[in-house]
């Protein structure tokens, strides 16, 4: 079978692709085709609400076509990649579908990413374009875009959205993305022309970023076939219908809000997606009241913040339209889970998954005690999971072990990452998630922790190794070990344990200064600094992070 998935992305064996297609998991449709099917079916229904801007399904298709034509006009073509750093805004949605229509592949990044991350991502991904806001929450992204363009000359096309979403006049060398979405000329003609674009459903539709264990993020190529199934099956399991009003409050460029079921799952069933730029309770609660939102997705730390806000001012906000609150992306404490229904007056759904694929959901009809205490079970009958020890042997039922998985929407390897792939995937295609889980008596999974060295700060995954590498740029640092310690507000925080060269000193402001100097995302800056005479070692003479974690987590509890 012809395989046209973008080069560099390992793919499923043809035998499995045929099976997944025969079983109806893969439908052989691109998001560009679907976008028009939806528009033809439910033209005037509202697809997107972003503040005062409302797009019907027809508007979305017509605007995406207009933008697609303009993107082609800049010289972009099928297989080209565009780094996308946009907040939740209607232009993000139009850009996603415009790219899907012509086979240009967005690489999704997060708003806090700075020079260090964007340059790496653009270079590693071989991107030729970049989309950013002009400014965002006081930061000059347009200037950042120019710096990325200088560092990575292949990035020639810079697309800018004004922070207020209106058309604007960007600086020299940048194009106004908002203006490019405004349709002109004959929409039917354009549709016909774009229908001829040779995009295959086996192509990569988007690159997501990995949580990152080895320094900078790896690129996760998701195909039209597998990602469409990801969104459609999620919508089915989560009971989404045409009446669903989904609020995207966490970043829409993250898998959770994009496709679990997120925006794409909402569109798959003809619902409405409401976008807010930040998960601040004030914004989100106003949008829930105004748009009668039925479901939203949050990281546990944000859910806790929302709960505290509601508890502090009971009766002030009308969230009665909410039917389901999805919480995931980091472990939700059972005690907190139990408070969701009484405080929000809606049911809780726990979500455990990863941008690499596998998604587990508690089901809407699971008993309360199962919803509160587990992170759900795989959504697809074709998901394979196994729980193994460090030698790869299955552990006895109910015991903790490492989760491995494969299936119709779990990738078979990261983009252009031969060595990492050899570690993260078995030769027969199982993805080693690095998560430690056990199977609960209900059959659902409980996530107990992870074997990989990652800090999960409010759902943002930070590689300890990357932070250590930055710390070594400080002249005073002789040894560095970065660990996660529990944090009231963010779930986990970054704690840097360092040994200094004799006669030197260091405090957190020095650490902040070096991170700012190299242009690293703010959320990766350690919040806690511990200076030690020596780092504890294991018998194998590796740094004993377990001891460090115990020592400094205790300190947090005691403090
Ligand atoms: P990401 O690819 O950014 O979605 O991160 C995926 C990782 O987040 C998983 O491998 C887990 O380590 C963690 N994670 C996601 N959801 C949960 C959850 N509900 N409970 C515990 N950890 C989670």
Confidence band of 444 (pLDDT split at 50, 70, 90): very high
In a domain, 67, yes or no: yes
Residues 557 and 509: their CA atoms lie apart, in Å, by 24
* Residue given tokens 């922790």 in the structure block: 449
Residues 19 and 493: their CA atoms lie apart, in Å, by 43
Q: Is the CB of 329 under 6 A from ligand 1?
A: yes
For 489-515, how does the pLDDT look when each residue is reduced to its tens digit (9 = 90+)?
A: 999 999 999 999 999 999 999 999 999
In a domain, 6, yes or no: no
DSSP three-state, residue 436:
strand
Confidence band of 452 (pLDDT split at 50, 70, 90): confident
Contact in structure between 406 and 390 (CB atoms under 8 Å):
no
In a domain, 25, yes or no: no
Q: Is the CB of 258 under 6 A from ligand 1?
A: no
Domain count, the chain: 3
Residues 290 and 298: their CA atoms lie apart, in Å, by 19
Instruction: Determine the pLDDT at residue 556.
Output: 57
Instruction: Determine the pLDDT at residue 168.
Output: 84
Strand partners, 348: 325
CATH number for 355: 3.40.50.12780
Residues 409 and 423: their CA atoms lie apart, in Å, by 20
- The helix (run of H) or strand (run of E) holding residue 143 is helix 141-151
Spacing, Cα 478 to ligand 1 middle (Å): 32
Instruction: Determine the pLDDT at residue 506.
Output: 96
Residues 313 and 285: their CA atoms lie apart, in Å, by 12
Spacing, Cα 228 to ligand 1 middle (Å): 21
Least confident of 4-13, 480-489, 537-546: 537-546
Residues 375 and 437: their CA atoms lie apart, in Å, by 10
Strand partners, 463: 454
CATH number for 47: 3.40.50.980
In a domain, 492, yes or no: yes
| Whole-structure pTM value | 0.91
Instruction: Determine the pLDDT at residue 197.
Output: 87
Contact in structure between 156 and 128 (CB atoms under 8 Å):
yes
Instruction: Determine the pLDDT at residue 540.
Output: 65
- The helix (run of H) or strand (run of E) holding residue 274 is strand 272-275
Residues 375 and 406 grouped into a single domain: yes
Instruction: Determine the pLDDT at residue 278.
Output: 92
Residues 477 and 422 grouped into a single domain: no
Instruction: Determine the pLDDT at residue 215.
Output: 64
Burial 190-223 (b: 16+ CB within 10 A, else e): beeebeebebbbbbbbbbbbbbbbbebbbbbbbb
Q: Is the pLDDT at 212 greater than 70, yes or no?
A: no
Which 8-state DSSP code applies to residue 349?
E
In a domain, 542, yes or no: yes
Residues 69 and 192 grouped into a single domain: yes
Structure tokens at 38: 């939806």
Contact in structure between 319 and 345 (CB atoms under 8 Å):
yes
Q: Is the CB of 277 under 6 A from ligand 1?
A: no
Atom of ligand 1 nearest to the CA of 208: 2
Residues 484 and 554 grouped into a single domain: yes
Atom 1, ligand 1: which residue's CA is nearest?
354
Q: Is the CB of 433 under 6 A from ligand 1?
A: yes
Mean pLDDT of 266-286: 96
Q: Is the CB of 119 under 6 A from ligand 1?
A: no
Residues 56 and 114 grouped into a single domain: yes
Q: Is the CB of 57 under 6 A from ligand 1?
A: no
Q: Hey, which of 211, 257, 260, 337 would you mutate to test ligand 1's pocket, going by the most ligand atoms within 8 Å of its Cβ?
A: 211
Written in H, E and C, the secondary structure of 289-315 is HHHCCCEEEECHHHHHHHHHHHHHCCC
Instruction: Determine the pLDDT at residue 213.
Output: 55
Strand partners, 139: 136
Atom of ligand 1 nearest to the CA of 328: 19
Q: Residue 138's CB: how many other CB atoms inside 10 A? A: 6
Residues 426 and 228: their CA atoms lie apart, in Å, by 25
Q: Is the CB of 249 under 6 A from ligand 1?
A: no
Residues written for the chain: 559
Which 8-state DSSP code applies to residue 523?
G
Residues 433 and 465 grouped into a single domain: no
Atom 6, ligand 1: which residue's CA is nearest?
354
Q: Is the CB of 125 under 6 A from ligand 1?
A: no
Instruction: Determine the pLDDT at residue 108.
Output: 97
- As a whole number, the mean pLDDT across the chain is 94
* Strands of the sheet with 401-406, listed across from one edge: 384-388, 401-406, 431-439, 445-450
Spacing, Cα 331 to ligand 1 middle (Å): 8
Question: Rounded to the nearest 5°, which phi and psi values hold at 418?
Answer: -55, -50
For 284-329, how does the pLDDT look when each residue is reduced to its tens digit (9 = 90+)?
A: 999 999 999 999 999 988 998 999 999 888 889 999 999 999 999 9
Q: Residue 505's CB: how many other CB atoms inside 10 A? A: 8
Q: Which of 485, 501, 505 minimizes the C-alpha distance to 555?
A: 485
Higher pLDDT, 170 or 57: 57
Q: Is the pLDDT at 394 greater than 70, yes or no?
A: yes
The residue among 433, 450, 467 that closes a domain is 450
Atom of ligand 1 nearest to the CA of 211: 3
Q: Is the CB of 71 under 6 A from ligand 1?
A: no
Q: Is the pLDDT at 66 greater than 60, yes or no?
A: yes
Instruction: Determine the pLDDT at residue 437.
Output: 95
Residues 182 and 244 grouped into a single domain: no
In a domain, 205, yes or no: no
Q: Is the CB of 447 under 6 A from ligand 1?
A: yes
DSSP three-state, residue 241:
coil
CATH number for 527: 3.30.300.30
Atom 20, ligand 1: which residue's CA is nearest?
331
Confidence band of 466 (pLDDT split at 50, 70, 90): confident
* Percent of the chain's residues with pLDDT above 90: 85
Q: Is the CB of 328 under 6 A from ligand 1?
A: yes
Instruction: Determine the pLDDT at residue 1.
Output: 38
Q: Is the pLDDT at 2 greater than 50, yes or no?
A: no
Residues 56 and 158 grouped into a single domain: yes
- The helix (run of H) or strand (run of E) holding residue 517 is helix 508-518
C-alpha distances out from residue 45 to 32, 271, 272, 382, 482, Å: 18, 8, 8, 33, 50
Kindly provide the residue ranges of all beta strands, DSSP E only, lying in 451-489, ordered along the sequence. Answer: 454-457, 460-463, 477-487
Mean pLDDT of 192-199: 94
Contact in structure between 83 and 121 (CB atoms under 8 Å):
yes
Q: Is the pLDDT at 557 greater than 70, yes or no?
A: no
Residues 360 and 481 grouped into a single domain: no
* Percent of the chain's residues with pLDDT above 70: 97
Contact in structure between 231 and 264 (CB atoms under 8 Å):
yes
Residues 430 and 462 grouped into a single domain: no
The residue among 398, 417, 450 that closes a domain is 450
- Contacts for 284 with CB less than 8 Å, ≥ 6 apart: 247, 249, 276, 296, 306
Residues 104 and 100: their CA atoms lie apart, in Å, by 6
Spacing, Cα 353 to ligand 1 middle (Å): 5
Higher pLDDT, 35 or 330: 35
Q: Is the pLDDT at 76 greater than 60, yes or no?
A: yes
Counts for the chain of helices (H) and strands (E), in that order: 19, 27
Q: Which of 31, 46, 113 minimizes the C-alpha distance to 521?
A: 113
The residue among 389, 417, 450 that closes a domain is 450
Q: Is the CB of 330 under 6 A from ligand 1?
A: yes
Q: Is the pLDDT at 57 greater than 90, yes or no?
A: yes
Question: Rounded to the nearest 5°, which phi and psi values hold at 45?
Answer: -65, 150
In a domain, 274, yes or no: yes
Atom of ligand 1 nearest to the CA of 255: 4
Atom 10, ligand 1: which residue's CA is nearest?
354
Contact in structure between 300 and 331 (CB atoms under 8 Å):
yes
Q: Is the pLDDT at 559 greater than 70, yes or no?
A: no
Mean pLDDT of 147-162: 97
- The helix (run of H) or strand (run of E) holding residue 221 is strand 219-223
Instruction: Determine the pLDDT at residue 537.
Output: 83
- The helix (run of H) or strand (run of E) holding residue 209 is strand 204-209
Q: Residue 555's CB: how many other CB atoms inside 10 A? A: 13
Q: Which of 204, 208, 251 minimizes the C-alpha distance to 86?
A: 251
Residues 268 and 246 grouped into a single domain: yes
Residues 53 and 76 grouped into a single domain: yes
In a domain, 468, yes or no: yes
Mean pLDDT of 349-366: 98
- For residue 466, the enclosing domain spans 458-558
Q: Residue 443's CB: how many other CB atoms inside 10 A? A: 10
Atom of ligand 1 nearest to the CA of 375: 19
Strand partners, 384: 406
Structure tokens at 247: 């609020």
DSSP three-state, residue 23:
coil
């Amino acid at each position: 079978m012809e395989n046209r998935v973008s080069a560099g992305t390992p793919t499923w064996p043809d035998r499995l692709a045929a099976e997944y297609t025969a079983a109806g998991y893969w439908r052989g449709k691109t998001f560009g085709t679907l976008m028009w099917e939806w528009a033809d079916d439910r033209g005037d229904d509202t697809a997107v609400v972003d503040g005062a801007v409302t797009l019907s399904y027809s508007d979305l298709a017509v605007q995406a076509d207009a933008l697609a034509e303009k993107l082609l006009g800049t010289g972009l073509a099928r297989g080209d990649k565009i780094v996308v750093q946009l907040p939740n805004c209607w232009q993000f949605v139009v850009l996603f579908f415009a790219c899907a229509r012509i086979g240009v592949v967005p690489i999704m990044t997060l708003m806090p990413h700075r020079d260090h991350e964007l340059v790496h991502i653009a270079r590693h991904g071989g991107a030729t374009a970049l989309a950013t806001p002009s400014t965002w929450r006081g930061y000059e992204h347009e200037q950042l875009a120019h710096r990325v363009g200088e560092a990575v000359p292949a990035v020639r096309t810079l697309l800018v959205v004004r922070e207020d979403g209106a058309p604007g006049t960007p600086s020299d060398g940048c194009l106004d993305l908002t203006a490019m979405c405004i349709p002109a000329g004959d929409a039917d003609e354009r549709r016909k022309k774009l229908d001829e674009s040779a995009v295959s459903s086996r192509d990569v539709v988007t690159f997501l970023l990995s949580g990152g264990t080895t320094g900078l993020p790896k690129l996760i190529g998701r195909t039209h076939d597998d990602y469409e199934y990801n969104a459609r099956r999620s919508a089915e399991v989560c009971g989404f219908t045409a009446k669903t009003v989904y609020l995207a409050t966490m970043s829409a460029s993250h898998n959770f809000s994009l496709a679990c079921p997120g925006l794409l799952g909402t569109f798959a069933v003809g619902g409405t997606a409401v976008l807010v730029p930040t998960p601040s309770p004030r914004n989100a609660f106003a949008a829930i009241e105004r748009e009668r939102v039925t479901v939203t997705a949050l990281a546990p730390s944000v859910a806790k913040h929302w709960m505290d806000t509601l508890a502090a001012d009971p009766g002030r906000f009308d969230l009665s339209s909410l039917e389901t609150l999805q919480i995931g992306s980091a472990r939700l404490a059972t005690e907190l889970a139990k408070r969701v229904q009484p405080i929000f007056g809606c049911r809780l759904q726990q979500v455990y998954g990863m941008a690499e694929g596998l998604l587990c959901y508690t089901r809407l009809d699971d008993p309360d005690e199962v919803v509160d205490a587990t992170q759900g079970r795989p959504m697809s009958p074709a998901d394979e999971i196994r729980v193994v020890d460090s030698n790869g042997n299955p552990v006895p039922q109910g015991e903790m072990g490492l989760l491995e998985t494969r299936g119709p929407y779990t990738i078979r390897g990261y983009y252009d990452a031969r060595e990492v792939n050899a570690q993260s995937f078995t030769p027969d295609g199982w993805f080693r998630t690095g998560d430690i889980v056990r199977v609960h008596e209900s059959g659902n999974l409980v996530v107990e922790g992870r074997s990989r060295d990652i800090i999960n700060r409010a759902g943002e995954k930070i590689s300890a190794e990357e932070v250590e590498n930055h710390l070594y740029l400080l002249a005073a640092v002789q040894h560095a070990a970065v660990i996660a310690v529990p944090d009231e507000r963010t779930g986990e925080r970054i704690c840097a344990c360092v040994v200094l060269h004799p006669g030197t000193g260091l405090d957190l402001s020095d650490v902040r200064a070096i991170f700012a100097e190299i242009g690293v995302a703010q959320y990766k800056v350690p919040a806690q600094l511990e200076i030690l005479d020596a780092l504890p070692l294991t018998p194998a003479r590796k740094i004993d992070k377990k001891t460090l974690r115990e020592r400094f987590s205790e300190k947090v509890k005691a403090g």
